[in-house]
Amino acid sequence: MKYAAIFAALFVLVFWVGCCTPAPFVKPPDE
C-alpha cells in the first residue's frame, strides 16, 4: 500500500500549501 501513503502525503501537502500559500500571494504584505 505504498500508493496510499504517497496519496495521503500529497493530499496533506497540497492542502497545507493551499492553506498557507495564497495569503502572501493574493494579498501582498504591507511591511
Q: What is the pLDDT of residues 1-31, one digit of tens each?
A: 789 999 999 988 887 776 655 555 555 555 5
The count of domains in the chain is: 1
**Looking at residue 14, what is its pLDDT?**
80
The pTM of the full predicted model, rounded to 2 decimals, is 0.47
Residue-by-residue DSSP string for 1-31? -HHHHHHHHHHHHHHHHHHHSHHHHHS----
Domain encompassing residue 1: 1-31
* Alpha-carbon span 6 to 19, nearest angstrom: 20
**Looking at residue 12, what is its pLDDT?**
85
**Looking at residue 15, what is its pLDDT?**
79
